[in-house]
Each structure stands twice: as C-alpha cells, then as structure tokens.
Amino acid sequence: MYPPQYYPALVGQDAQRESQQDKIGLVRRNRTTGRLLDVGAGVGLFVREAIDAGYDAHGLEISAQAVETGIAALKVPLTCGDFLTTEMSAADYDMVTFWHVFEHLADPRAILAKVHHILRPSGKVIIAVPNFDSMQSRVFRSRWYHIDVPRHLFHYTPRTLGVVVEQSGFWLEDVQYGWRDHDRAGILGSIMRLSPPGESLVHKSVRKIAGMPIAGALARLESSMHSGGAFALVATKE
C-alpha cells in the first residue's frame, strides 16, 4: 500500500517548501525550542526544516527505504520502526508531531497513550489530518481525494479527534485551519488525477493553468469558514 513513489521525491523539495513552512509556523507558535519527535517522518523533510529552525528534532518512519534516503540525502536523524513497538524513554520530548499520519494508524488510543508517556510535563502534540467535516468532503463524498482507501483507516472531524485526545489525558488547546497544500489537493484531486504516470501535456496544462488556481481559490474560501480539507489539532499533556 506504500510504494516508493508514495513518499515525497527529493527533487521536489522546493515545491514542498510551502507545506514545511506551514508546519514549522504552527510549531513555532506553540514552542520555540525543545526536543521534537516527528512520527511518520518519511524522508525527513519536516525534520530538516525543524533542525534548521533550531529544534532538536528527530524522525521515526516505518519505511526503511525512506529512512535510508533521508539520512543519505538530507543528513537528518531518522529511525526506522513502528511507533508503538519502538522503545522510548518516559518524558523525553517536548513535542510530538503527526503530519497526516494519524489517520493511517490502527490504534489511535494506544498511540495517544504512548505520546502521553514520552512527553514531558506540559509537552505538546500536534496532529494534522484530513477534515471529514469539510465542505469538500461533503461535496465529493466517495470521490473525495483524502479518503485514500485503503491507507486511511480512520477519518476525523475536529470534534471527534478532540474527544479522543481529551480522553487520553490532554488539554485541547487549538485547532488550526488553512493548510494550503492539502486543502488545494483535496479539491483538485477529487476532480482529476494529480500528476498521473505518463501525464499528457494537455492534462498537465489544464491541471497547472486552470485547476490549481481555481482549487486554490476555493480552498482559501472554505478555510476562511473553518471548513477546509485539513486541520491540525494542538493539545498539551495534562
């Protein structure tokens, strides 16, 4: 279910910088320094951004190939392993991040229990997921791009994820809307394929010249109404 092309290509780092800047901006607003663990780090693009921003950042990723690529190309500290089975010390991190990873995990309550265990007092967890309560989810229904069967095992609204997080010993602090890449991709990907193999010139032109600007405008509109295609929840360990 996770072929090599699922992971971000290093040749596209500049195009993905927008996404990484959105993430680091949210992190900075909640904690300016500290030890950070990024779960489901892929090739480590966010870990690299966090290190450059002054954090003691590390990444955990289940794909050995992605870990090998990130260590070799980005020179970032990545560990290959499953979050629940990887041994970690109690109260070892100031922040744990899940950037569009939590919806892939089969036991969310067990995940949150371990996050609570490894966070220091008043440590924070950030969980970014598709928004099942979004306008685009309601419009496109079974065709919604972010459903992503069979990789996404659960879908959340801000309310339902907040309930699970609070029941796991956290205080819900903030819900952040306005994720440019995921909001836009959710709309455009529901209408047409995004960068399919052997993409024709006509398809690429329509996607880039018309599709992306229109999807971007619609995404900004729905985000302004707190109904965008993705959201990030910030919570503090009680």
Residue 197 lies in a domain: no
Residue 214 lies in a domain: no
| Distance (Å) of CA 81 to CA 63, 77, 85, 99, 131 | 8, 13, 8, 17, 27
Residue 187 lies in a domain: no
Residue 164 lies in a domain: yes
- Digit-by-digit pLDDT tens for the chain (238 residues) are 887 777 765 645 555 677 898 999 999 999 999 999 999 999 999 999 999 999 999 999 999 999 999 999 999 999 999 999 999 999 999 999 999 999 999 999 999 999 999 999 999 999 999 999 999 999 999 999 999 999 999 999 999 999 999 999 999 999 999 998 899 999 999 998 886 667 788 888 888 888 888 989 999 999 899 999 999 999 999 8
pLDDT value of position 127: 98
Q: How far apart are CA 220 and CA 201, in angstroms?
A: 27
- Quickly count: other Cβ atoms within 10 Å of residue 42's Cβ: 23
Residue 129 lies in a domain: yes
Phi, then psi, of 29 in degrees rounded to 5:
-70, -15
Specify the CATH number for the domain of residue 158: 3.40.50.150
pLDDT value of position 1: 85
pLDDT value of position 12: 52
pLDDT value of position 15: 53
The identity of residue 151, as a single letter, is: R
Q: Which residue, among 178, 167, 165, 176, has the nearest Cα to 235 in the 3D structure?
A: 165
Residue 223 lies in a domain: no
Sheet holding 119-130, edge to edge: 78-80, 56-61, 35-39, 93-99, 119-130, 230-237, 170-176
Residue 14 lies in a domain: yes
Residue 203 lies in a domain: no
Domain residues for the domain of 54 are 4-179+228-237
Looking at the structure of the chain, the number of domains it has is 1
Print the SS3 string covering the chain: CCCHHHCCCHHHHHHHHHHHHHHHHHHHHHCCCCEEEEECCCCCHHHHHHHHCCCEEEEEECCHHHHHHHHHHHCCCEEECCCCCCCCCCCCEEEEEEECCHHHCCCHHHHHHHHHHHEEEEEEEEEEEEECCCHHHHHHHHHCHHHCCCCCCCCECHHHHHHHHHHCCEEEEEEECCCHHHHHHHHHHHHCCCCCCCCCHHHHHHHHHHHHHHHHHHHHHHHHCCCCCEEEEEEEEC
pLDDT value of position 55: 98
